[in-house]
Each structure stands twice: as structure tokens, then as C-alpha cells.
Chains A and B, each alone.
Chain A
Amino acid sequence: MNIIAALLVILILSPLAMLVLNSFRETSAIYENPLGIAEKPYFGNYARILQNTTFGRNFANSLLVTVVTVSLCIVVTTLAGYAMSRFNFKGKNALILWLLASQAFPGILMIVGIFSMLTRYSLQNNPLGLIILYTTFTIPFCSWLLKGYFDAIPRELEEAGMIDGCTRFKAMRIIIVPMAVPGIIAVGTFAFLLSWNEFFFALVVMRDNINYTLPVFLSRFLGTGGAVEWGPLSAGALLTALPPIIIFLFSQKYLIGGLTKGALK
């Protein structure tokens, strides 16, 4: 069974392995021999994608949108998760109900509903538009997850801090938040994956190729019919998929913990 488990993992990862191998082969070689491996790695695909396309600019766009979204998400959902854990405010049930239900809202309904607002405030074709959308998309899952983390931290801890003269906000910041760091890492990773990988809204909002994020760039480079340049496309796809994979590998312990502890319970 140990061998079966290892084979399963290899099978599941083989499409990614193929992407890596193809990114170092010429397009003609990829077409001639789909299962082949380059004898000598070919770097022309990377040169082509980095020098002759808007890839670098689009990478910067993705990075900007993602970094700002992750930061905003952490601030907003830490505060909200704390409030949902510690206070019995009016409308709490309605808020939680909305957060849970909004995970089912079809993207098309939301984009049609907000499109005129984005145009009116010049947020269309603007990274800020995507940042606002993505931050809101992370809220249901992330604030719910952090509420679960805060629930597990005894109230007595910040109450002790408040008796010692801290304000509640300060007690939260210096006592409770440090204890919820695993949850905050989980939330940050989730927000990173969501905003780096999101395609549908980026496709609609970003109109010019210099403003695209990476998934939209790849989709345009893939084209609509005709021969696909698999070599450069594989190089671009690998460079696109690498940042979320690296982030995920570093923080997977926290993300998996957050998924299983906070979000599904």
C-alpha cells in the first residue's frame, strides 16, 4: 500500500511534471513527440515569454493585486472574526447567514450587478477594481475561519489584559492576535491563492493587455483556435503557477489546519 500511495501521488502530479518538461522544449519538438524529454534543456521559451510579451508587466499586476488583497483581507477579517467571536451584536445572525449564503452567488450575477459601478468610478481596467472585488470575495471564508480560531482562545486572556489597563483593542492586538497567527497565515494563504489564480472577474474587468493579470494573459496567449505555441505557453504557465505553489508549500500546514479546524466546522 505504500507503493500504491506513492504511485497515486506521482499520477496526480504528472500533469505538472509534464508542464515543467515542456517548458524546456521547443514547440516543434513538443508537437513531434508529445511524450518526449529534451536531451538538453532549451531556454528559448523563457526568453520569448519574458522579452517579447507583456508577461513581466502582467506578473507585476498580479503581484500588486495579490499583495494588497492579502493585506486588506488580513486586516478586515481579523477585526470581523474577532467581533463575531467576542460580541453579541444586533444582526449577528443575519451577517453570518449572508456570509455563508454569498459563497453560492453566481459570478455572472455579481459582475453584472457591479459593472456599472466599476465603470462609474473608473475602477474598470484598474487593479484597484480587482483588489476591491477580491478582498470582498475572501471575506466569507476568511472571517469565518478566524472566528473559529478566536473562539478557541479563552476570553479570560484579554479580560486580564483589560484589567491591567489595556483598551480592548490593544488587548486584542497584543494578546489575542499573536495567538491566532496560524489562522492568520491560513487566511493570508487562502487570499493569495484566490487573488493570484482568479480568472473570471479579471477577464471582464481588465481590458488592455498591459493591465491583464497572469491568468488573463495566458488565456489570450493561448488564443482562440489556430496552432498553439506550447513551448512559450508552458514556460509562462509554469511561471504563473509557481508563486502560489511555493506559498502553498511553505504554509500548507497552517492552511490545512485552518481548512479542517476553522472553516468546515
Chain B
Amino acid sequence: MIKIKIRGDTLRAIPYLLPILIAIAFVSVYPFVNGIIKSLYTDQVFGTGTYFSGWENFQEVFADNLFWVGLKNNLVWSFSCVGLELVIGMLIALVLNLPYIKFRSIHRALILLPWATTPVVAALIWRYIFGVMGPLNEMLRAIGIANPPGWLITPGYSLAACIVANIWIGLPFVVVIILAGLQSLPTEAYEAAAIDGAGPFRRFFFLTIPLMKSLLLILVTLTTIWTFNMFDIVFSMTNGGPGNSSLLLSLYAYQNAFAYYQQGYASAIGVICLAILLIPVAFYIKEVRSEN
């Protein structure tokens, strides 16, 4: 019989860790493992049961045209949202960080409001803004554009409209984090650089960016993960339409699991998403742990 000796810190830590361990075991580890196992099973029609089918789900997913549409949209969606949030967020943070800006903390609190707004509420506000007869087209007509498009019902524009809505939610967080990073930069380095005659652009690219490299890397990886898995916006604004032009993988997997009752197929899509996300999450973990 093997005796496991638990002593010292491990023994003392157990009462504190018990609740979190129970929660993680049942609601994180179990569904994670079970979800992956389910991707190896195929659901029979009308919910009559499942049978082991090995890699079949994955083979079908890779042969599924809609999966590739969703994947392409997911990549466009993630890179556009994260890239634009980062660039615009940096510009706004730089403006707010100027020494003579007044009411900085009020600005910062107000800018964060979209981030605290319920995403479904944000989605329906933007669905209204982008409507055929909505305020955006009303403004476009007022400046002389006679026939502005129906943004959400035109294949080339629907995903872009959803991207705008998602940026509105995601941007505030990026601004606030970058602003905090800017405010914690050492002033001595900037004074020295200014004495050496480095202009604002040189200071930004050769001082600010390298000094904030770690913070920016964590921000980018975390935002990428959140954006990639985002479901609420597209579900409520276009439901993937028109003609799957704004279909994201999270939505396609949801439809498979809960509209077509193909949970195995849906979890195979989930496993593929997870595999893609392993890249950003590896960078995130490495960076977070080296910071500690």
C-alpha cells in the first residue's frame, strides 16, 4: 500500500484550497476533458445516442466548407479587432497621458463604460446604428450619399459592422491598461533621451514600446483569446448572416450543438479553436509567470 505523506505547507493549505479545487475539478477540469472526449463521438439523429467514431468528426470538420468560412472570418475578426483596438487604444492613451490633460481620471472612468455594458445591449445598439434606416445611414444621406448600403444585410459589410461593435466594447480596456503602463514609465529615461535630442517619435518607438513590451504582450494575447471566443455580438447582430458572411466558429459550433444536436461535431470545432489558441495562451502564460 502506498502512503501519500502530506505535510507542512501542503497540509496547511488544504482547507484554504478545498473550495477552489472542488469548483475547478467539477466545472473546469471535468467539462474540459469530457468535451474533448465528446469530440471523438458522433451523435445519432433525433438524440438516440452516441457512438465512438474516432477522428471522424475532425475529418468531417476539415471537409466542411462552412468550417473554413468560419475560420477565415474568425481570423479576419480577431486580427482586425485586436489590431485596431491596439493602435487606436495606444493613440487615445497617449492623448490622455499628456501632462496638461485635465479630468484624466473622469475621462478614464467614462471611457471604460462600454466595457461594463452588457455585450448583448451593445450588440443591439449597434444593430440599430447600422440598420438600413438607422442613424448611420441617415447621417450618410445628410452628407450627400444617396444610397448607403444595408450594412448588416450586405455580405461584404456585415462582418465589418460586427467588428466595429466589438471594438467599441474592447477598446476601453486596452486604453486603460496602456494608460496605466504609460503612467508607470520611469521619467529619468525620457529626460535623458530628450537631452540626447531624441524626438517624440524616436522616444515612442525606442523607449516607450520596449519598456512596455511585457505589458503589451500580455494585453495582446489576452485580448486575442477573448476576441477569438466572442459569441454575443455576432449572434445578436447578424446571427452569422447574410449567407454565413459573418459566421464565426463560436456561432457555428453553437448551431451544431444546439440547433442540429451534433454535440460531438461542435466539440470537435471547439478542440480546433483550442489548438489555435494554444499559441497566444502559451505566450500569455510565459509572460505572466516571468513577471512574477
Contacts and interface: CB of A to CB of B under 8 A. Distances in A.
Interface of A: 1-2, 4-6, 8-9, 12-13, 15-16, 18-19, 22, 31, 33-35, 75-77, 79-80, 82-83, 87-90, 95-117, 132-133, 135-136, 139, 143, 168-169, 193, 196-197, 199-200, 203-204, 214-215, 218-219, 222, 224, 228, 230, 233, 237-238, 240-241, 244-245, 247-249, 252-253, 256, 259-260, 264-265
Interface string B194-232: 000000000000000000000100110010010001011
Interface string B124-155: 11111101011101110000000000000000
Given A34-B131, A117-B26, A218-B120, 16 more contacts: A1-B101, A13-B113, A76-B20, A83-B13, A98-B28, A104-B229, A108-B269, A108-B273, A109-B271, A112-B270, A113-B30, A113-B31, A113-B32, A197-B120, A248-B116, A260-B181
A218 B121 contact: yes
Given A200-B232, A256-B176, A265 B292 contact: yes
B229 to A, nearest CB: 5
Given A18-B125, A136-B23, A214-B118, A107 B229 contact: yes
Contacts of B236: 219, 222
Given A230-B128, A241-B121, A103 B222 contact: yes
Interface string B100-130: 1110010111111110111111101111110
A12 B133 CA distance: 22
A90 B35 contact: no
B87 interface: no
B76 interface: no
B266 interface: yes
B266 to A, nearest CB: 6
A113 B292 CA distance: 33
Interface residues of B, number: 103
Given A117-B30, A224-B239, A249-B109, A104 B281 contact: yes
Contact of B118 (A97, A112, A215, A264): A215
Contacts of B138: 33-35
B58 interface: no
B135 A34 contact: yes
B61 interface: no
Interface stretch (B77-85, B91-99, B185-193): B91-99
Contacts of A112: 31, 34-35, 38, 257, 263, 266-267, 270
A79 B19 contact: yes
Contacts of B96: 5
B270 A106 contact: yes
A106 B124 contact: no
B46 interface: no
Contacts of B13: 83, 87, 89
Nearest to A73: B23
A4 B29 contact: no
B177 A264 contact: yes
A243 B266 CA distance: 34
B250 A113 contact: no
A196 B38 contact: no
B75 interface: no
Contacts of B31: 109-114, 117
A192 to B, nearest CB: 9
A199 B229 contact: no
B23 A215 contact: no
Given A218-B120, A241-B117, A265-B292, A80 B17 contact: yes
B107 A5 contact: yes
A19 B120 CA distance: 13
Nearest to B258: A204
Contact of A16 (B10, B24, B117, B291): B117
A77 to B, nearest CB: 7
B177 A98 contact: no
Nearest to A4: B95
B168 A264 contact: no
11 contacts: A12-B114, A18-B125, A80-B17, A83-B13, A88-B9, A101-B285, A117-B31, A136-B28, A168-B12, A222-B127, A260-B177
